[in-house]
Amino acid sequence: MKQPELFSQKPKPVLAHRCELGEGPVWDNHTGSLIWVDILGGTIHEFDVATGKHHHIKTQALVGAVALCTNGHLLAALDTRLEWIHRDSGKRKLLTALEHIPDGIRFNDGKCDPAGRFWIGTMPLSEDRPIGALYCLGPDGDCKEQLRGITISNGLAWNAAGTTMYYIDTPTRAVQAFDFHPETGALTNRRIAFGIPESEGFPDGMTIDSEDKLWIAHWGGWQVARWDPETGRKLGAFPLPAAQITSCSFGGPEGEDLYITSASKGLTLGELEKQPLAGSLFVVKNSGFRGRPANRFAFEPKFDTP
């Protein structure tokens, strides 16, 4: 297949549905479907690319993120609880809940590391105080705090070697890097990999491609951009017809389609008229870049017959 001219494609909406706060896209390479959430709508969405079927699960909670489990079901961060969700029936089972945390906290972005641990951050509903944290959930169900003093915990990514973790606390306008120890999940050597200029918007969700370059969704920046974490150089971007871009993930049969979530949260009627696709799920088909399969949580929940 002839590769497209890089960054020449125009992102297109996947389906006629708009989220208030779309987030957390993850591609399931076993089923050929894209899963994402509407945090404020309390909904987990799934779109089967081959059939066009759009399935959703209402959680009656603020759903910060979901992860695939090794048996194909879902691990969901709901309010301040972590629950298993049966993918077909929507049946739920509590795994653990955060304790001894400040009021007005919810889970936000989360992702599995290469060893199958689930990393999930929190943030204040007010979005203005550093009282959030970053947690790591192991296969034993033990959820341990790893970082504190976080305001809006967001994007997570690991390099191909599994030795570096990248992390975004959105108001800092920076991507942090850590030496990552795959055997234990320990973080050391915390540092700023690079900053995001104010003109680019705020860094939000993030993924990484097969060349270990970071793809960052820019809230207020109308774009998803590719960044070199070693040099801090912006390598290119896909402009979008919405300002509040929240996250991105590679998918498709060859991992070359870039899926992008967005939000309509807080937009005025005038802004919505100018951004009628705000809150949509977008895709850049055959983007010219390739991602890696999503890591799965290394624990298999047992459900009774739904």
* pLDDT tens-digit map of 206-237: 999 999 999 999 999 999 999 999 999 999 99
Helices (H), the chain: 269-274
Q: How far apart are CA 188 and CA 276, in angstroms?
A: 44
**Pair 84, 73: CB distance under 8 Å:** yes
Work out the end-to-end distance of the chain between its first and last CA atoms, rounded to an integer number of angstroms: 43
- Pairing between β-strand 223-228 and β-strand 233-239 as defined by DSSP bridges: antiparallel
Annotated binding-site positions for substrate: 106, 108
Of the pLDDT bands very low, low, confident and very high (cuts 50, 70, 90), residue 33 is very high
**Helix, strand, coil shares, percent, the chain, to 5:** 5, 50, 45
For residue 195, give both structure tokens: 């900053």
**Pair 24, 32: CB distance under 8 Å:** no
Could you confirm whether 228 is annotated as catalytic? no
Among 28, 38, 204, 257, the one annotated catalytic: 204
Sign of CA dihedral 36, 40, 43, 48: negative
At 111-152, the pLDDT tens digits run 999 999 999 999 999 999 999 999 999 988 889 999 999 999
Annotated binding-site positions: 23, 106, 108, 154, 204
What domains can be seen in the chain, in order of their start residue? Answer: 12-284 (2.120.10.30)
For residue 70, give both structure tokens: 């090794």
With a cut of 90, say whether residue 161 has pLDDT above it: yes
Annotated binding-site positions for a divalent metal cation: 23, 154, 204
